[in-house]
Amino acid sequence: MGEPFNYIDLYDMHGGKINHALPKSRGDHGGGDELLRSMIFREGVPDPLGQQADSIAGSISILIGIAGNVSIKECRNVKINDLVPLDDYRKSTPECRLQPTR
């Protein structure tokens, strides 16, 4: 088997460099596929990085693709809020965690 680590270099805005060694995981996509399947199909799998998306995040993801296609077709900038009035949703849903648009 090859090298047991993947390496990534991070650079700060002052030119400093930090090299991180990340242990390789087994399986497809560096072990990510198995972790993803576990998080979807098993209960109680921890999500310490908050990576699991809810229906709102999924909807926003789809809207980003739609906005991209409209932007390409019409050669203009497209705001998600122009496609769907998220500000209205945000006001009517107090538990909504969407950030205000700018």
Q: Are residues 35 and 10 part of one domain?
A: yes
CB 42 within 8 Å of CB 35: no
28 part of a folded domain: yes
Q: Is the pLDDT of residue 31 over 70?
A: no
Q: What is the DSSP letter of 64?
A: H
Model confidence at 73, in pLDDT bands (50, 70, 90)?
very high
* Over residues 45-55, mean pLDDT: 80
Number of domains the chain is built from:
2
Q: Are residues 30 and 59 part of one domain?
A: no
Instruction: Provide the domain limits for residue 63.
Output: 55-92
Q: Are residues 59 and 37 part of one domain?
A: no
97 part of a folded domain: no
pLDDT at res. 97: 57
Q: What's the pTM value of the predicted model, to 2 decimals? A: 0.51
Q: Is the pLDDT of residue 11 over 90?
A: yes
Q: Are residues 32 and 9 part of one domain?
A: yes
